[in-house]
Structure 1
Amino acid sequence: MIREEVQQLVFSLLLLPSLFLFIFSSKANAKSVIEPCSSSDSCTSLLSYNLPWDSKLSEIAYRFQVNISDVLASNSIDPTPALSWDLIMPAKSMVKVPISCPCVDGIRRSMSTIYTVRAADNVSSISEGYGGLVSAEQIRIANGVSVKNPVTGGQGLVIPLPCTCFNNSNNGATTVYMSHVVQSGESLGSIGAEYGTTVSNLEGINGLGQPQVDPGDILAVPLPACSSANLNWRNESLIVPNGSFALTANNCIKCSCRQSDLSLQCSPSGIVASCSHLQCKGSNLFIGDVYEKPTALGCNVTACNYRGHFGRKIFRSLVNSSHIQCSGNGSHAIVSPCPSSSSTNINLSPSQSPSPSPFSASIQPVGIDASNATNKHNTSIASDTRLLSEGCILSLLVLQLVLYFLC
């Protein structure tokens, strides 16, 4: 009956111009934001999970039934070391947990987490394990738990978790929303300062009539994000919160959101051994590599950019541009008797490791089958220390010998 009344309230809200509502639960008058919806689309959302006790990252991933690599990415933890899976996070620390936020019964919420009841559990202890993101009453309502129908060991309970999408936008800027449980001593001002937003913005997003929140309230907090919307990717779109990264293309590619300009920077992840060469056709550059050539008029820049994936195929392309001066972040050839970057239509077979002399080629994305070859790209070598190709080195040695004998 309660669930039907809540649904009726939500659907009546859809008739109003407001897009959200702050409601009160029966437990300590805790408030949370509800986003009405009417379509089946979903978005990636975040949970601000305050750990009730010491937990390994792998245990947290299991608790919320999400991929451990996605938890590492959301918290900017290097996924390469195997020890990162067993990293122990202390109690009361905050971990960002990525979840899918679909439309369920007219409102945004995640219902995909299933908790298996243990012998000593009750709904209150289960609620405590999720750090205040769900109340005991919400668990009871979602699963029909009552005095006559108590939880039993081995039973699977649906855990309704908060989430918001708001079209991944905040005042026109790409945004990922995080559900944050207000802690004792926090205010809208302190929360806004921590996440780089204003009190008025938090008030508007959460429909607050006054800047007053209490411990246990759940706020939707906007996090600036990078988007692939304007990058001409094929069959893929990606939104990455500021300061974090995402793994894509079967974990072969790592795309980070650069804080300085909110742009996506993609390169080989280095955690999958079965990826293909990831090399741009007609060059010695791999995805993420940048080659800069100083000229009398400025700097010519050639970059090998990620262009999305489809199934086991990875797309990439060369992009050429000119700048007033070189940034110093790309590879530079000081002395090179090899053909210059102005050469065209030179077809090279994939090299075993990247080298710094790119050759211009078609900028159309080229698909490669990631299942046919092994990735030989050593990601531990920085792009600004790329070695000259073997042919270039040999030519340079011959030139030096000739000069020696002439002298």
Structure 2
Amino acid sequence: MTITQTLPYFIIFLLFILTTTPPTKAQPFSCKPSSKCNSLIDYVSPNDTTISNITTLFGISKNLLSFLGANNYPPTTLPSLAIKAKQTVKIPFPCRCANGTGTSDGLPVYKVVPEDGLFHIASDIFGGLVLYQQIQAANNIADANKILVGQELKIPLPCSCDEVDGQAVIHYGHVVPAGSSVEAIAKQFDTTQETLLKLNALADPADLKAGVVLDVPLKACNSSISSDSRDYPLLVPNGSYAITANNCVRCKCDAANNYTLQCEPSQIKSSIWPTCPNTQCNSVFLGNSTSSGCSRTTCAYLGYDNQKIITNLTTVSTCSTSPSSATKINSQGWRWNFLVAVQLVLLSLYLFQ
């Protein structure tokens, strides 16, 4: 076969490479410098695996409870639990912001094995959460085709710590499923289409592509945790929980409970203390409530320090607001005037019969 005959096949091959190669410029999450926080990102497993394998890959095996809480698995779930191929799980990780963008702080770290390449590591092993160019830049690799077996690579997962509309949120790297839309994602995660477009620098909802990691701000439950507490700010998104206070307290978030953080003893052995400190508010246990008339009093979690868990009784009104005195007076006056008018009409009819 001559060069002239093979040329059309070469052109077809070249076009295939150009159309299937990922973009050379990533779309990082914007983030104000010198910020640190906790973030989430999706991971879609390419094969059948286990929780243990996933937490090891992302360097969070020592923080198994944070993974279980992010995915709302029971705290007693074993690391050997099977995760099916194509199943999506959320990965919690620390985020650090610098130079206007955020990346994972210190983890995950991947060790190169034989036959590895940066493109394979980015697209196959880490499911396209990063581009190979990002791994190359994060590890100061001059030639993307030259990595060494045993070399440890930092994997810069995208993240952010910025407030959204003046509120602290958990930035969640959501892998857009096929057939989804900006409007559907906004509805699913209790945000707005406008917010998603602005955060992700999308000019039009039609610009959304399947497989892209979208920055989704997750609203966190309100809490009364003191700024002096070691876990401040404790941001827990809807449908998840966090184990805190050296494993002694479990705090969950449920939108159905008006986005109010609900904390209770975790029943887990403390990671620091010989036994978990007392969590009662006088005679009321943490998370429990008592009611009297229109008042409900709850033993709420306020945080912890090196020695104790801090709690306090909080009281809220459960009765509907009654009409104001002015409204009552106006209502009574209207009824009195009506009765007087009726009496005058009847008197007039009697007199002019």
User: Normalized against structure 1, the TM-score is what?
Assistant: 0.64
Give the counterpart of 1:153 among 149, 155, 162.
149
C-alpha change, 1:125 and 1:276, in structure 2 (3 Å) is same
C-alpha change, 1:299 and 1:227, in structure 2 (3 Å) is closer
Q: Is the 8 A contact 2:32 2:162 kept in 1?
A: no
CA distance in 1, matches of 2:98, 2:53: 27
Name the Cα RMSD after superposition.
2.6
Tell me which residue corresponds to 2:113.
118
CA distance in 2, matches of 1:70, 1:157: 24
Tell me which residue corresponds to 2:301.
306
C-alpha change, 1:54 and 1:312, in structure 2 (3 Å) is farther
How many Å apart are 1:195 and its aligned residue? 2.4
CA distance in 1, matches of 2:47, 2:25: 22
CA distance in 1, matches of 2:130, 2:26: 12
Q: Deviations over 1:174-230 (max 9, x none)?
A: 4211112334333323333432333322112212112212234322112111143x4
Give the counterpart of 2:30 among 35, 38, 56.
35
Give the counterpart of 2:248 among 249, 252, 256.
252
What are the residue-to-residue correspondences of 1:279-318 with 2, within 5 Å?
279-280=279-280, 282-283=282-283, 285-293=284-292, 298-318=293-313
CA distance in 2, matches of 1:99, 1:243: 18
Percent identity at matched positions?
A: 35
**Is residue 221 of structure 1 aligned with residue 220 of structure 2?**
no
How many Å apart are 1:232 and its aligned residue? 4.1
**Is residue 55 of structure 1 aligned with residue 52 of structure 2?**
no
**Is residue 72 of structure 1 aligned with residue 68 of structure 2?**
yes
**Is residue 268 of structure 1 aligned with residue 265 of structure 2?**
yes
Letter in 2 for 1:292: S
Q: Deviations over 1:255-287 (max 9, x none)?
A: 11121211110001112164335242542x221
What secondary structure is seen at the aligned counterpart in 2 of 1:32?
A: coil
**Is residue 91 of structure 1 aligned with residue 88 of structure 2?**
no
CA distance in 1, matches of 2:43, 2:288: 36
Hey, which of these two has a bigger chunk of strand by percent? Answer: 1
Unaligned runs of 5+ in 2: 1-20, 321-353
C-alpha change, 1:323 and 1:186, in structure 2 (3 Å) is closer
What are the residue-to-residue correspondences of 1:97-136 with 2, within 5 Å?
97-113=91-107, 114-127=109-122, 128-136=124-132
C-alpha change, 1:59 and 1:301, in structure 2 (3 Å) is same
Tell me which residue corresponds to 2:190.
196
Give the counterpart of 2:201 among 190, 193, 207.
207
CA distance in 2, matches of 1:105, 1:201: 22
CA distance in 1, matches of 2:281, 2:134: 55
Tell me which residue corresponds to 2:343.
none
C-alpha change, 1:269 and 1:213, in structure 2 (3 Å) is same
What secondary structure is seen at the aligned counterpart in 2 of 1:62?
A: helix
Give the counterpart of 2:175 among 171, 181, 191.
181
CA distance in 1, matches of 2:260, 2:24: 41
How many Å apart are 1:156 and its aligned residue? 0.7
Hey, which of these two has a bigger chunk of helix by percent? Answer: 2
Letter in 1 for 2:196: L
CA distance in 2, matches of 1:321, 1:189: 36
Tell me which residue corresponds to 1:239.
235
CA distance in 2, matches of 1:137, 1:101: 20
Unaligned runs of 5+ in 1: 1-25, 326-407
Q: How many pairs were matched up? A: 289
CA distance in 2, matches of 1:319, 1:197: 29
CA distance in 2, matches of 1:148, 1:301: 62
Specify the structure having the higher radius of gyration (Cα). 2
User: Normalized against structure 2, the TM-score is what?
Assistant: 0.73
C-alpha change, 1:275 and 1:196, in structure 2 (3 Å) is same
